[in-house]
Amino acid sequence: MALRDNPFGEVRLPLLLMAATSVVVAALVALILLFADRRETVQTQAYGVTRQVTDKVSAPVGAVLSLPIRWAGDGANFVGGYFFAVSENRRLKAELRDAARWRESAVALADTNRRYKALLGLSFEPPVPMVTGQAISDARGPFANSRLVNAGQAKGVRIGNPVMSENGLVGRIVGVTESASRVLLLTDAASRTPVMIERTNARAILLGDGGDNPKLAYLRGSEAVAQNDRILTSGDGGLLPRGLPVGRAVKSLDGTWRVVLSSDAGPIDYVRVLLFQDFGQLVNTDKLDHPSLPPGPPTVSAPSP
């Protein structure tokens, strides 16, 4: 019997139809999943169990799989460091001279600040505790910019915690498991960060779009920002502490203001997760819930007739 004569010879048209049906069914499932997704919210319960399990599994697997690539990258950087040692030395010397000037200024300002605080009796926010984690995996496409770090609930990390590298703000925690957490980078299309321009104190929202330089949106006034102005977190909304370094303002080709991120100055291997929640953590909520009422006015007994 020739192969063309067997029953499978007639199977082509139905198979094409079945394949097309399979595509439609799979696409419908994907659509339902898409509209049920709520990944950019800061609510803990929005980070589903599936994502938690994936992060929990992929953290150790990714760490092991990436070891050879890390070693190769370190080797290449070692060779690069050897060849660029002279220019790096010049740059570091210039930076050190600059830092020495700032150190003198900082010492004087710290002394002035201490005296003002003592005179005014001001109490300030306590220092924010932090934990260190290593970046295990990195998504850097146009639709998702996130990182998995090996610090989780066991170290006190919670959703919403800001994440910094040694150079500046990197993003915030959007998902957390016992041993790993996912960081939504400032460049992600879902990222919105309240910032301020240090020179003018003007407020803006830093809007990620998947590119290297997020946009400054909702800027008010024509002179609010200038080239190379330093951008810091504003602390508005209480999600991030005020004053974390974010980057420098630059004007893009399309005329919009964008930010060259400080965290881009070096590799983001190790990050610090600031265990900052919101302003509510700075007050004693128990005390607020059970206020001790001041003594009322003395009761005056009615005069006897």
Question: Residues near 91 by Cβ (< 8 Å), separated by ≥ 6?
Answer: none
Instruction: Verify binding: residue 54, other proteins, rule CB under 8 A.
Output: yes
Comparing CB distances to other proteins, the nearer of 139 and 282 is 139
Contact yes or no for 257/225 (Cβ under 8 A): yes
Q: What are phi and psi of 4, to 5 degrees?
A: -70, -20
> Measuring CA to CA, how many Å separate 199 from each of 50, 105, 218, 225?
44, 18, 17, 8
Binds other proteins by CB under 8 A, chosen from 189, 205, 250, 275: 189
Supply the minimum distance, in Å, between the C-beta of residue 119 and other proteins: 47
Q: What are phi and psi of 249, to 5 degrees?
A: -80, 135
- Residue ranges in 125-144 that form contacts with other proteins under rule CB under 8 A: 135-144
CA 15 to chain CA centroid, nearest Å: 48
Instruction: Verify binding: residue 58, other proteins, rule CB under 8 A.
Output: yes
Supply the minimum distance, in Å, between the C-beta of residue 20 and other proteins: 7
Strand partners, 250: 258
- Residue ranges in 60-99 that form contacts with other proteins under rule CB under 8 A: 61-62, 65-66, 69-70, 73, 76-77, 80
Instruction: Verify binding: residue 56, other proteins, rule CB under 8 A.
Output: no
For the chain, how far is it from start to end, CA to CA, in angstroms? 128
CA distance linking residue 250 with residue 292, whole number of Å: 53
Comparing CB distances to other proteins, the nearer of 214 and 235 is 214
Supply the minimum distance, in Å, between the C-beta of residue 65 and other proteins: 6
Question: In sequence order, what DSSP letters do the residues of 280-291 get, joined into one string?
Answer: GGGS-HHHHHS-
The 140-179 contact track toward other proteins, x by CB under 8 A, reads xxxxx-xx--------------------------xx----
- Residue ranges in 7-36 that form contacts with other proteins under rule CB under 8 A: 8-9, 11-12, 15-16, 18-23, 25-27, 29-36
Binds other proteins by CB under 8 A, chosen from 180, 268, 273, 274: 268
Instruction: Verify binding: residue 249, other proteins, rule CB under 8 A.
Output: no
Q: Which helix (H) or strand (E) holds 99?
A: helix 85-120
Instruction: Verify binding: residue 269, other proteins, rule CB under 8 A.
Output: yes
